[in-house]
Structure 1
């Protein structure tokens, strides 16, 4: 059978109800439970029933009787009567509850505010990891929930003294702990109906004003509701952004958009077809120029010449600006020389190539990348042949003049920079023999990277630095059939590149040995504005030109008839029509 004992604590004048599971309750039982709840030692408590002092071993009356528990003497530690003094001062000052209990001491003699600060520091150290994580997640201190303390007072981690009036966890403080954690509905509705005037207070629109316990905007909101509010605002911003993007992308009906895409695609195909046709026409024109076709050209005081194009692009997008009439160039016999003036100082490969040289823009193969070509690159200070490079020469700059000389008899190729010889670059150089598909000899050739520009001089005007043991490449262009009419004309050409390309003159076809022609006499007649030619220029062998007519492939009715032409002849016909063949 359970019994209850009601005890009034003095001098606190608070009442507690003790419950026991047996009826024979003694004074010791009551003191034990009081000690567990109030930490007051046994020997300091005296039990009274009315005016009778109860012994520790005798039974005590049960409820509804009321016992009184009196502390026999003052507690150790603390200042005797300090709490009563503060309470009386607080009441005398205006009947207000006092908070000045931080200066009180506990049973160990420490002031309560010092104990509270020690607990706060310990909690701060324990939450260091949480603070770092909150900073990483972008959580503000205002978003943290209100700290729960035993006293119900924010920042006070101890229990309130029994004499501190008006404190403790009461139902009336629940709303106070939740202040500013919920948005004010009246404030939201008022601002939705009307726009606040300039310099309006933050609580404009709320009928409660500053006395409102709810938050007026994000600046006042705190706790978990602030986190949810920020999340909602972020999602709202993303939705608006997606809506604007969808309106921009799908502003036109899908059917109309699909039609526009198809029209743009067809327009691109037409433009590509037109560009391809233009490129095919240019390529056909260049292929036609590769077959030497004599023609009249005028220069100077009515002096005419018979010549074809001497500068032909093998690959790439090349712009050639010719200052005068064109010539056809090939080199046979002893040393010959031409100059290249650099208008830009990028990747340019200048040198020589024979008639079997083939360029490939897609693979990036230019002069020096083929076995039948030899080149010098002053930008990278290397020499090239057969796709292999080796250190050679000095670094060039825009405005420099590169001299290129070849001696077929000695089998050597040499380069010079601004008149200073860089030494023999290649040895054992041999020109290919003439065949039905191509002529023999070695040709000036050069490759340019994108946006690079050069100016080529093959001897129509005075060289900047002409070696004494070489003749200009132009001397090889003298046609024996034009001795009276004088076939030499100025051939300086400026070349610029929009992509990597290779330039080499088209090979003429030779079918007979040419007689020797006195080159100085011709130069004296033609170069009216140039310096006199050297007194002892060597004689050059020049071959007459033969025009090859193309076959009408449509006249052949079978594959066997085409095979009868021979593989070399068929390859030659296809190549001149701009078709690739293996």
Structure 2
């Protein structure tokens, strides 16, 4: 196929013909110029130039003539600025040239940044034009006699300034990339070192546990009360104690207790690796998430403490707590006073003070959330503990003895006489007047069922008071704990039901 490269109005057209007449016809169709106004002024196949025949008659000249005449005056310099002249369409030549100039600049800039052209090629293309004037891409008047040195210097300055700025940007990017690589490398090294230490510690612990198991010839079954609430954990028995290691993002385990029947609950853990571990207490509505990293203390239904960060956590809120970060092999004690509704913590026997205040008599159970790779040792029984708090009860003595889940308990899952028991323990150090008042208040309890058809709302039941609602719940064998609103809501939900249809989760635990 024959092709021609035809120059027309500072643009090159590729045409699939060598026929001069056909060339003019195609240029007319492409540009919209009448074919009668076009002429093939130069033709050296396959190259040619098409020009527009002027239909204007000659006159005395315009702005170009004035420039030409000025350049011929004595002492005058030939001008290289033809921007004020107009083309046949009436457009200022400087506007047409600026459009071409900007288009070329952007095109070459993209090619250099993409790596398809070099900066030297860009320099040659922008400075060496057909006119001989750097930056002037239109044809010059026939009478023009100019020098392009000044314009070339201007374009060189602009080019080298752009090149300098581009090099500075490239250097900043490379420096940022190197800094990021160094940070990532340092993080990976630290992570590998920590992982190696944890793995070594775990292997040593497991090997020692295996040796201990061989000496004992058998390993006891894990406590039925120890349940995994979220994530995965490895459980190993060593030196007559259970040890946990998280195998997921943020594993959470709990120890389910029997109903509240004592005033002080206490347990200990040993942070063998000294890393991020959240330890504390939660109620039955607690729902941790290993995927999102939510553990004990990260919701309104749990209260936690992390000694590695020296913070206490509750309901997505943290406060400073503790005097110094815990270290590997530190013993952390957790105390819950059900009689006063306070939670406090100990590190190596040192009391750090009250961390939280909760509802008095609330049913809580121990919860531990462990960061990946961290190892903790459980101490649930008094003979295992290093710093047992006087008059407290080890949680191992009141943990449930049967396979169970949190669905079997609720926030009011405490002993039916827990209030009197807690009052009795709390009032041992109070005055005789307080003892008499408590006895009088206890004697007002009436264990009789209510005719629920006489009540149309929960609010009407609330007017009966805590004791009357408790007696009504006890009379029908339903859990009787909780606040005034909880008792009224529980009792009202049974309206119209036979005793055989009561939800199992609301029935009181039968005593042996």
Which TM-score band (shorter chain)? 0.3 to 0.5
Higher-helix-fraction structure: 2
